[in-house]
Homo-oligomer: A and B are copies of this chain.
């Protein structure tokens, strides 16, 4: 299991990357993260929703209510232009981060890359 301290700083990026593929809401994003990572990473609910409010406060996403006629009302999120820019920056930073950490980590067998 991956410790959250490691992913910390990339939770926002993970969420943005899923919103790039279309508007979504908390529960769905949560399920998508599980699915994409084969259950290897599960974002806690509280972490997820606190990330949403941080992202919205920073102007990287916008929210609106869904029009469900049944079930609990969902809050949908949409990525903004500024959110896309931020996402791109984080992607570049990730390349650099890998380079840095790789210098200190001994890769045994398959590094898990590509």
Contact = CB atoms under 8 A, between A and B. Distances in A.
Number of copies: 2
A39 to B, nearest CB: 11
Nearest to A110: B95
A93 B9 contact: no
Contacts of A107: 91, 95
Contacts of A40: 96, 99-100
A83 to B, nearest CB: 14
Interface residues of A, number: 42
Q: Which of A96, A99, A106 has the most CB of B within 10 A?
A: A99
Interface string A51-68: 000000000000000000
